[in-house]
Every structure is written in C-alpha cells, then in structure tokens.
Amino acid sequence: MSSKAGKLILGFLVYSFTLAVLLALIIIVWLNHEFTRPGPLTQAHLFEVERGMPLNDIGYSLYDEKTVHDPFIFIIGTMVSGAQGHLKAGEYELQPGMSAQQIMNNLRKGTTFGRRFTIREGLTSYEVVQILNGIKELSGEVTNIPTEGILLPNTYDYRRSEDRSEILTRLENEMEKTVLPACRILLERVAGSTLKDMMDMECAPAPAPLKTVRDVLTLASIVEKETGVAGERKRVAGVFINRLNRSIALQTDPTVIYAITKGKHKNEGKGPLGRRLLRKDLQIDSPYNTYKYPGLPPGPIANPGRASIEAVLDPEEHEYIFFVADGSGGHIFAKTLAEHNRNVAEWRKIRRSQGK
C-alpha cells in the first residue's frame, strides 16, 4: 500500500472518528436538553407507580398521561442516571412543568403524595375500623374488629387503593414496636405470630401488680380514657396502681361504658353512650365493670397512645387513691375518702353552675 493511500485511509478514519464523537456529543447534549427541559404538564397531576412496575411501563404511562414529552427520553435518561430499579412504588403529585429528570428524581426519592389519616388516642378498635372504612380511596372493607388495644394511635400515610386490612396490620406492628421493647420483650417474632398472640407475655419493668403486656395495655387504655391532660397521665396511673396494690376496686366510668357499648361508641356529641352514665349503669354485670369487680378488666377498653403506655410503665409515686374532675379539663386528687367527698361536692357545684 502506498504512503498516499495510507494517508487517505488514516485521514478517513480520523474524520470518521471525529464525526462520530461530534455526533455522540450532539446526541448527548440533545438528550440532556430533552431530559431536563420543562414537561408538558400545565396543572398538578397524580401519578401512580405500581409495585414491580417495569421502567418501560412507567415511561409509557407518564407519556400516556401527558406528563413527559417522550417516553424514550425518560427511559434512557433514567438508565443513564443509574436510577433504573430504584424507582419506588407509590402515588406522586407531579407539578406543572416538571422535567423528566425531576420526575425521575421524585420517583427515586419516594416523595409520594401525602395521603394521611389520624387515629387519635383512646379510640376503640371499632371506631378505628369505622374511620378506615370511611376513607373512599382505600380498598377491601374490614368486617372483623381487631382485638382491643393493639392498634397504635398516630397519623399515618396511605396509598390510593391500599388494602384496609394491610393498614390495620401496620397499626398493630407499630403498637408491637412500641410496647414489646418497652416491656423488654426482645425475643424474635415467631413466624405468623402477632401482638395478639403475645399479650400474655411477661412485661418485666411493669410496676406491681401489673405482670403482662395485656395488663399494661389494659391500664394504659383506662388512663387514656380518664385524662387528656399530658401532665396528669403518670399521676392518674399512680392512682390506679395504688388502688390495685391495696385491692381497692378501680371504679372507673370508662370501663362501665365499655361494658355497655362493647366499644361501639356513639359519636353524636352526647358522649359514647349518647347520654350521661347513670347510677343504675354501675350495676351492670360485666367483668369490665370495675365498680362491681375489683382488679383490672379482662383487656383494654381502647387503643392507648405511647404517652399513656409510658405513664403506666413509670407511674408517679404518691399516696393518692381518688381523683375527680376540677371543671377545667384536669382533676383534683385526694388521699382520703373524706377529702375526695369534699372534692366531689365542689365538682357538683361547678356542674350546677354550668347548667349540667
């Protein structure tokens, strides 16, 4: 081969390589421009990534819902970014003008749309189920009421079409993660077991005479129903511990209400019974009636929050064995029956002055 021909070939190769590099650079610049330029959305849009959804399906779904200009740009950009396989399932609120890259980043971070519901402290399991069944975006109506006391009150996120039974399991798992470590139950969970199965396990740090997880949750549920004042919980818990240790009946109205309603409380603004608790109600024959039967009732009367559980595990030490409402949302505590009777008389005066 002549040197002239060799130079021609070399020149052609250099030219071809240079052209290929320039073309590659042009393609990269164009892809980056398309991947980062504002998208076609003109208003906020909810987009759902299903569990196990392939990248191709996500790209085409985004395109079909007019949130990206080109499905290939989203797919290729995601692969080049190394995000393939890291896009999280969930429902996302995509904002107007979001680029394909911004959408990819949201899906990678898992910044899902904030659907939330709140289970406040002291609701019964029946009331929790009523709340979940009332959320239209969920699926799978719940018909069986969970065991009382095993659902942790809190504010929870949920996904559209998420199964209600799965949410109940999540609430139970959260209670399990709260109460079992607090009771120093560090055993590995037996396959298929639930908090319901572990209610009668010993709770090591519980004050006497409490012995089991059930005892702790039961008393915590009573404390939860008796006071909504954060600073009183440990004192109220101490009152009930004192009464249990002295074999004095707890005599707490919420347990009688539970004996009557079985947790199916009325919510019409007139209290859980739809009326005032009457003196004759205190005679109902039920193991939940702590006026009639001493000691703890058979189980929780509501779902207690973390603070009430902590109060029961670390109650205030004092000599109080009575308390009554003070008219301002809190309570007055007494060590003797005579002192308590004076406090009750004052409370009745307050009620009369309020026209109750």
Task: Provide the pLDDT for residue 30.
Answer: 74
* pLDDT confidence of residue 229: 92
- Structure tokens of 314? 């670390």
For 119-141, b/e burial (b = at least 16 CB within 10 A) is bebbbbbbbbbbebeeeeebeee
pLDDT in tens, 89-103: 888 999 999 999 999
Indicate whether 333 pLDDT > 80.
yes
Flag whether pLDDT at 188 surpasses 60.
no
Burial environment of residue 143 by CB neighbours within 10 A (0 to 12, 13 to 18, 19 or more): exposed
How does pLDDT run across 201-249, given as a tens digit for each residue? 999 899 999 999 999 999 999 999 999 899 999 999 999 999 999 999 9
Question: At 189, is the pLDDT very low, low, confident or very high (cuts 50, 70, 90)?
Answer: low
Q: Average per-residue pLDDT in the chain? A: 90
Average confidence (pLDDT) over 74-79: 93
**The pLDDT of residue 54:** 93
Q: Are 74 and 65 spatial neighbours (Cβ–Cβ below 8 Å)?
A: no
> Tell me, what's the pLDDT at 300?
98
- Asked whether the predicted pLDDT for residue 277 surpasses 70, the reply is yes
The residue ranking higher by pLDDT, 310 or 29, is: 310
Query: What is residue 8's predicted lDDT score, i.e. its pLDDT?
Result: 65
Integer Cα distance of 324 and 341 in angstroms:
9
Residue 221 or residue 51, greater confidence? 221
Question: Residue 190: its pLDDT value, please?
Answer: 56
The answer, yes or no, to whether residue 335 has pLDDT greater than 90, is yes
* Cα–Cα distance, 12 to 2 (Å, whole number): 15
* Residue 5, pLDDT score: 63
pLDDT tier, 23 (very low <50, low <70, confident <90, very high otherwise): confident
- What are the extents of the domains in the chain? 3-109, 116-182, 203-353
Q: Is 147 helix (H, G, I), strand (E, B) or coil?
A: coil
Q: Which fold has domain 3-109?
A: Dna Ligase; domain 1 (3.30.1490)
Name all contacts of 137-141 with Cβ < 8 Å and 24+ positions apart: 137/161, 138/162, 138/163, 138/164, 138/167, 139/163, 139/164, 140/164, 140/165
Task: Give, in order, the Cα–Cα distances in Å from 295 to each of 262, 299, 320, 334.
Answer: 19, 11, 17, 20
Which pLDDT belongs to residue 138? 94
163 in helix, strand or coil? strand
356 pLDDT tier (thresholds 50, 70, 90):
low
State if pTM tops 0.85.
no
Instruction: Annotate 308-332 with DSSP letters as a single string.
Output: HHHHHHSPPP----EEEE-SSSSEE
Q: Which residue has the higher pLDDT, 104 or 21?
A: 104
**Quick one: pLDDT at residue 348?**
84
With tokens 């309020």, the residue in question is 354
